[in-house]
Amino acid sequence: MSVGYIGNAFSLQMVAPEHLDRVRFEAVDLAEYPLGEFHSIVGHADIAAVLGVGMNRASVMLNPEDTMLVAQLVGGRLPEGSKTLPEGFRLQGVLVYFTRRNKC
């Protein structure tokens, strides 16, 4: 079963070692995605508030059918209690997905 996650960071611990050679990253525009339809694993309350998703400090192991949308904060550390991005800050969208293995 395929799951779509949204998070504020990506870790190699989210992928089993046997699948590391299949992980791909693609820069995307976050505005093109319905963020509320993704399962939130955003572990930072202020980033979750800016994105309009729930905060959920969860550890996941991605399966080859899963995708993850990463909203990477660029510009520094958000001031506590932020609901919007201050001037000079932005969220860089990165889609994490797996390629298919070629069968021999």
What pTM was estimated for this model as a whole? 0.88
Render pLDDT for 31-55 as a digit per residue (tens, 0 to 9): 999 999 999 999 999 999 999 999 9
Backbone torsions φ then ψ of 50, nearest 5 degrees: -60, -40
The continuous run of DSSP H or E covering 82 comes out as: none
Q: Where are the domains of the chain?
A: 4-98
Contacts with 22 (C-beta within 8 Å, 6 or more apart), sequence order: 64, 98, 99, 100, 101
pLDDT for 2: 66
Write down the CATH number for the domain with range 4-98. 3.40.50.11170
